[in-house]
Amino acid sequence: MLLDVKNLHVKYGTVEALHGINLQVEEGEIVTILGANGAGKSTTLMTISGLLKPSEGEIWFDGKPIHTMPAHKVVEEKLTQSPEGRRVFSTLTVQENLNLGAFTAKNPKRVEETRRWIFELFPRLKERKSQLAGTLSGGEQQMLAIGRALMNNPRILLLDEPSLGLAPILVKAIFETVAEINKSGVTVVLVEQNAKAALKLAHRGYVMEVGRIVLEDDADALLANPSVREAYLGGG
Ligand code: ATP
């Protein structure tokens, strides 16, 4: 097991947002987390990546407890999140944003190889490497956020809503790229509103409702599940 989340409780002030989440990810998988707005998907990812601290529960990554580590240490363990809302540094160039993603890197040759790989995955970023990130289109900023996360050579990549606000053609492209990233050996946890596309891509999925996991299954089974179809796949 690469990632093991056990009985995770998280509070914002006095209000508990996660009420005991259990979630497992095997090496090589794409696992998706589905749920309505406010279900706690982002909170789950932010807690795994160390940006929020649980009030109860544990997170183990490759046999190590990471819930006690500060976020920058979690990054050094090769667990990286690409945040929602394409939080790129808008006054820095594409190249400079990518460099920041490699802040833990010790081997310049490896950084160069990774950069080359990211430019193959996203040729658009290569064309625009000197452009200020704030002037990129929404889709390009999303590519940059993912590229920046990949600069850390993560073993596991947490993606929060990579298709948010993108035109359908770009949604398809982003999902294809996520498949390619996974084929290259990166385990992926994917939070998505676009449930159908996410389940087609993923091996397994979890469904969250108001701070709890209410269903977990193989992606094919979730795609065929009547209550999932009704709630998340537009019925039918
Ligand atoms: P969405 O799909 O809308 O992003 P989500 O499933 O990612 O939703 P979260 O953002 O994790 O849900 O929110 C879970 C709950 O925690 C919600 O009730 C939300 O209002 C609350 N919450 C999130 N962030 C904060 C915060 N900084 N302070 C207080 N409450 C918060």
Residue whose CA is at the smallest distance from ligand 1 atom 31: 12
Q: Which residues have C-beta atoms less than 6 Å from ligand 1?
A: 12, 17, 35, 37-43
Atom of ligand 1 nearest to the CA of 35: 6
Residue whose CA is at the smallest distance from ligand 1 atom 20: 38
Residue 204 β-bridge partners: 31, 218
**ipTM strictly over 0.90?**
yes
Atom of ligand 1 nearest to the CA of 46: 11
Residue 188 in this model has a pLDDT that exceeds 70 = yes
Question: Taking the model in full, what pTM does it have?
Answer: 0.94
CA atoms within 13 A on the CB side of 3: 31
Tokens of residue 32, six digits: 């998706």
Tokens of residue 147, six digits: 């590229």
Atom of ligand 1 nearest to the CA of 208: 6
Tokens of residue 178, six digits: 């996520």
Residue 84 CA to ligand 1 center (angstroms) comes to 12
Tokens of residue 42, six digits: 């982002």
d(CA 75, CA 95): 20
By the 10 Å C-beta count (0-12 exposed, 13-18 middle, 19+ buried), 74 is classed as buried
Q: How far is CA 53 from the centre of its chain?
A: 18
**How many CB atoms sit inside 10 A of residue 44's CB?**
28
**What digits encode the pLDDT tens for the residues 136-169?**
998 899 999 999 999 999 999 999 999 888 888 8
**How many CB atoms sit inside 10 A of residue 49's CB?**
22
Q: Which of 10, 32, 42, 189 to mutate to test the pocket of ligand 1 (most atoms within 8 A of CB)?
A: 42
Residue whose CA is at the smallest distance from ligand 1 atom 16: 17
Residue showing tokens 């390619």 = 180
**What digits encode the pLDDT tens for the residues 64-79?**
999 999 999 999 999 9
Tokens of residue 196, six digits: 């159908």
DSSP state of 135: G
Residue 79 β-bridge partners: 156
**What digits encode the pLDDT tens for the residues 69-116?**
999 999 999 999 997 656 889 999 999 999 999 888 788 898 999 999
d(CA 25, CA 16): 24
Residue whose CA is at the smallest distance from ligand 1 atom 25: 12
* Range from 11-25, 123-137, 164-178, 214-228 carrying the lowest mean pLDDT: 164-178
d(CA 221, CA 218): 5
Tokens of residue 73, six digits: 């240490």
Residue 40 CA to ligand 1 center (angstroms) comes to 6
